[in-house]
Amino acid sequence: MISGREALARLCEGNRRFVEGERNRQRVTDQVHRDELVDGQAPFAIILGCSDSRVPTEIIFDQGLGALFVIRIAGNIVAPSGIGSVEFAAGSFGTPLVVVLGHSSCGAVLATLDELRRPTESQSRNLRSIVDRVRPSVEPLLGTGLAADPVALTRAAVRANVRASANQLRHGSELLEQLVEDDALLIVGAEYSLETGEVDFFEGVPHLE
Ligand SMILES: [Zn+2]
């Protein structure tokens, strides 16, 4: 298996192809490749992303079958089942990289900001469980100068939410914590821009030598 840094470079390269419109379609549809995967998988990256229809993980990283182990949930929040999914992939396949992938104008983050400003009673318990997981990282921002600038506030809130999820993965599991300590797992945070199609890896990225 490749290293976490190599996996990160592969994702960057795939996103560059996506942005520039040079898609690597052969890997996606190739029957030979599909046959090879019947007996097992070795995904090189785990992505915890948002369910948003505009951020389809394999497409924005230009990856085919068997490449990415993907968990998608509104607001890319970390629930126990999400930690379990990451543990499963990192533990079973030796996947060396986890990316928490947020995106601009995330509906779950916007809904949380709305809820903090104008609390409602009508939200379902299940929807509330998402907002409640986004809230702790976003709420402190409302007490800062950002509160007066809705665009800057949303941008900061998206990033704060990504950082919170990455930290929960780093510290919410003994297995993952051990893998990170052993340098066998890299956990980074990133934001996808709906406007440009670019993914910015902004958190936890090791300095390149
Ligand atoms: Zn979203």
Query: From ligand 1's centre to the CA of 76, what distance in Å?
Result: 7
Query: From ligand 1's centre to the CA of 50, what distance in Å?
Result: 5
List the chain residues with pLDDT less than 50.
209
CA distance 160 to 132: 14
The pair of structure tokens assigned to 107 is: 């509906």
Please report the pLDDT score of residue 35 as a whole number. 87
Query: From ligand 1's centre to the CA of 118, what distance in Å?
Result: 20
Please report the pLDDT score of residue 25 as a whole number. 63
Please report the pLDDT score of residue 79 as a whole number. 93
CA distance 165 to 188: 10
Query: From ligand 1's centre to the CA of 61, what distance in Å?
Result: 17
CA neighbor of 164 nearest in space, from 83, 104, 78 = 78
Please report the pLDDT score of residue 133 as a whole number. 95
Please report the pLDDT score of residue 208 as a whole number. 57
| Number of alpha carbons in the 13 Å side-chain half-sphere of residue 120 | 12
CA distance 123 to 116: 13
Query: From ligand 1's centre to the CA of 199, what distance in Å?
Result: 14
Query: From ligand 1's centre to the CA of 17, what distance in Å?
Result: 23
Please report the pLDDT score of residue 83 as a whole number. 97
Integer Rg of the chain from CA: 18
Query: From ligand 1's centre to the CA of 108, what distance in Å?
Result: 6
- pTM of the shown model: 0.95
Query: From ligand 1's centre to the CA of 86, what distance in Å?
Result: 19
Residues with CB under 5 A from ligand 1 (ion): 50, 52, 106
CA distance 71 to 50: 8
Query: From ligand 1's centre to the CA of 101, what distance in Å?
Result: 9
Please report the pLDDT score of residue 32 as a whole number. 78
**C-alpha separations of 174 from 99, 168, 205 in Å:** 18, 11, 21
CA distance 94 to 41: 11
CA distance 95 to 87: 10
Please report the pLDDT score of residue 121 as a whole number. 79
The one-letter amino acid code at 90 reads A
Please report the pLDDT score of residue 122 as a whole number. 76
